[in-house]
């Protein structure tokens, strides 16, 4: 059973996908989270670098993004390969889409291959190939490709999995709505400053789309405002493919479904394995290292259990780049083949489609996974200043989430809140979030930097 859970969040919304009760995917979205992946930006070209075959773009908020010639070629679809100087010029204004988050000293990467998302279709206004979403497979994928080519011969539309259940008129109508949105975006380019496009897809819609694409059979919501919007959007789906909707009787859905505890566990470096043993996950600047510790367990049995959990943890934590797994060595080729099959099966549904390389003679398996969005740890953990960055401690974002969760689940009215200095700084940066509901708060230096104290009415 695939269950999608949606909740409000201090800066927007959050979503989790659970398979048979186990959290396998997590995402957040909102105007204040600062991510660029799959988001539209008005940008200005600040520098063109022919030696790098790329250009640097101002996308607002003090951020400079990287646009390669390969990604810029969509600005002129007639030519597959062109010099970056022929595609963009300094001072030019563009509409681009986030492709990858920044990493340490590297800025985010963007593309001119803009995509506007609907429930059944994806519009590529600058052209491309009429095809089917990667979530559709086999005969369904071929059927959708042929239908897209028939309905949209100009090659600008991708049909999504649910498109197979609706008639041609519904698909054409949705594409027309997306085309109208694109015209609004282009019209806004003339006067807009660099920054996010205000006509883009809403964050809650983006998260619901993610759950639907992942095959959620049930969608669970507790918050009233989120519930109304989700029910309205799900009603657009044909009944045959519409997930079952459940309104939970609780302040928040994540704690009520047990996913909050699993989310917190995904922020820890150690993961216990079913049947014994553990994984130790360490994120470094160059790669992610995962050690399989068996504590005397049979090597093949341990490695197969580890393979299943590694696939879950990598997707849940959104780990990307080079991932090196130190398995317990398996001398027999037949045993290594079983491990390779288990890894491929575990990663089969991962949207990032990781590449798995054969085990080395030292028992190391190299996995490469595309970086899409920030890893979970980048938001909720940060370097410890007391140990010169050698350890990780909860971030201000983690403190903000803990306060939000407490205020939403407290039974009695809250009179006031006292917060530590770092949490006070984060609250001040957020401004006046609606979830505080007029509750007065003040900084209390006597509290630990991320701690808070809630004063309830008697």
Q: What is the pLDDT of residue 134?
A: 59
**Which of 436, 309, 375 shows the shortest CA–CA distance to 28?**
375
Q: For position 198, what pLDDT does the model report? A: 82
Residue 152 contacts residue 122 (beta carbons within 8 Å):
no
Q: Which CATH class is domain 266-369?
A: alpha beta
Compute the mean pLDDT over every residue in the chain, rounded to the nearest whole number: 88
User: Mind listing the pLDDT tens digit for each residue in 52-93?
Assistant: 999 999 999 889 999 999 899 888 866 656 788 889 999 999
The partner residues of 96 in beta bridges, in order of sequence, read 41
Residue 223 neighbours by CB under 8 Å, 6+ apart: 7, 8, 252, 253
Q: Residue 374's closest CA among 336, 322, 317? A: 317
Distance of alpha carbon 322 from alpha carbon 342, whole angstroms: 19
| pLDDT score at 442 | 92
Delimit the domains of the chain by residue range: 2-33+203-262, 40-111, 116-196, 266-369, 395-456
CATH superfamily of 2-33+203-262: YqgF/RNase H-like domain (3.30.420.140)
State how far the Cα of 366 lies from the Cα of 95, in Å rounded to an integer. Answer: 36
CA-CA distance, 165 to 205, in Å (whole number)?
20
Span 132-169, pLDDT tens digits:
565 666 788 888 888 988 999 888 898 988 888 889 99
Residue with tokens 């028992």: 363
Assigned CATH topology for domain 40-111: OB fold (Dihydrolipoamide Acetyltransferase, E2P) (2.40.50)
Q: Distance between CA atoms of 207 and 29, rounded to whole angstroms?
A: 7
pLDDT score at 390? 60
Query: What was the pLDDT predicted at 250?
Result: 93
Q: Is the pTM of this model over 0.85?
A: no
**CB-CB contact of 98 with 35 (8 Å):** yes
| pLDDT for the residue 374 | 82
Which residues have a Cβ under 8 Å from the Cβ of 306 and sit 6 or more positions away?
273, 277, 279, 292, 325, 327
Low-confidence ranges of the chain (pLDDT < 70): 31-33, 77-81, 104-105, 128-137, 199-200, 386-390
Q: Residue 334's pLDDT is what?
A: 92
Helix, strand, coil percentages, rounded to 5, for the chain: 35, 30, 40
What is the number of other CB atoms lying within 10 angstroms of the CB of residue 287?
A: 16
* DSSP-derived secondary structure for 379-396: HHEEE-TTTTTSSEEE-H
Q: In this predicted structure, what is the pLDDT of residue 53?
A: 92
């Amino acid at each position: 059973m695939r269950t999608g859970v949606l909740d409000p969040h201090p800066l927007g919304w959050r979503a989790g996908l659970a398979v048979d009760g186990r959290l396998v995917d997590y995402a957040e979205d909102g105007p204040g989270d600062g991510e660029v992946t799959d988001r539209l930006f008005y940008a200005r070209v600040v520098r063109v670098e022919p030696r790098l075959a790329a250009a640097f773009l101002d996308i607002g908020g003090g951020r400079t993004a990287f646009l390669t010639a390969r990604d810029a070629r969509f600005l002129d679809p007639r030519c597959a390969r062109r010099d970056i100087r022929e595609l963009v010029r300094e001072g030019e204004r563009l509409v681009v889409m986030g492709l990858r988050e920044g990493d340490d000293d590297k800025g985010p990467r963007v593309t001119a291959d803009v995509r506007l998302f609907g429930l059944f279709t994806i519009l590529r206004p600058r052209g491309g190939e009429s095809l089917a979403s990667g979530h559709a497979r086999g005969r369904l994928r071929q059927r959708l490709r042929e239908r897209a080519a028939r309905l949209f011969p100009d090659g600008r539309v991708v049909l999504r999995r649910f498109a197979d259940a609706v008639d041609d008129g519904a698909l054409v109508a949705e594409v027309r709505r997306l085309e109208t949105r694109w015209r609004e975006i282009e019209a806004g380019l003339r006067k807009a400053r660099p920054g996010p496009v205000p006509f883009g897809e809403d964050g809650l819609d983006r998260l619901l789309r993610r759950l639907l694409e992942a095959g959620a059979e049930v969608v669970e919501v507790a918050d009233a405002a989120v519930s109304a919007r989700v029910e309205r959007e799900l009603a657009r789906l044909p009944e045959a493919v519409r997930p079952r909707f459940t309104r939970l009787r609780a302040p928040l859905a994540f704690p009520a479904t047990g996913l909050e505890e699993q989310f917190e566990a995904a922020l820890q470096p150690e993961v216990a394995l079913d049947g014994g043993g553990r994984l130790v996950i360490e994120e470094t600047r160059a790669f992610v290292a995962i050690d399989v510790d068996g504590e005397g367990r049979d090597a093949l049995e341990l490695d197969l259990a580890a393979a299943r959990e590694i696939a879950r943890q990598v997707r849940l934590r959104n780990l990307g780049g080079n991932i090196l797994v130190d398995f317990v060595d398996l001398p027999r080729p037949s045993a290594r083949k079983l491990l390779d099959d288990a890894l491929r099966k575990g990663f089969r549904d991962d949207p990032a489609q990781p590449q798995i390389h054969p085990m080395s003679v030292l028992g190391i398996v190299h996995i490469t996974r595309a970086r899409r969005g920030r890893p979970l740890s980048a938001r909720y953990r940060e370097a410890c200043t007391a140990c010169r960055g050698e350890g990780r401690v909860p971030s201000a974002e983690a403190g903000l989430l803990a306060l939000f969760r407490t205020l939403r689940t407290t039974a009695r009215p809250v009179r006031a809140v006292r917060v530590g200095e770092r949490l006070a700084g984060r609250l001040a940066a957020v401004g006046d979030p609606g979830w505080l509901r007029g509750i007065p708060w003040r900084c209390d230096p006597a509290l630990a930097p991320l701690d808070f104290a809630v004063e309830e009415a008697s």
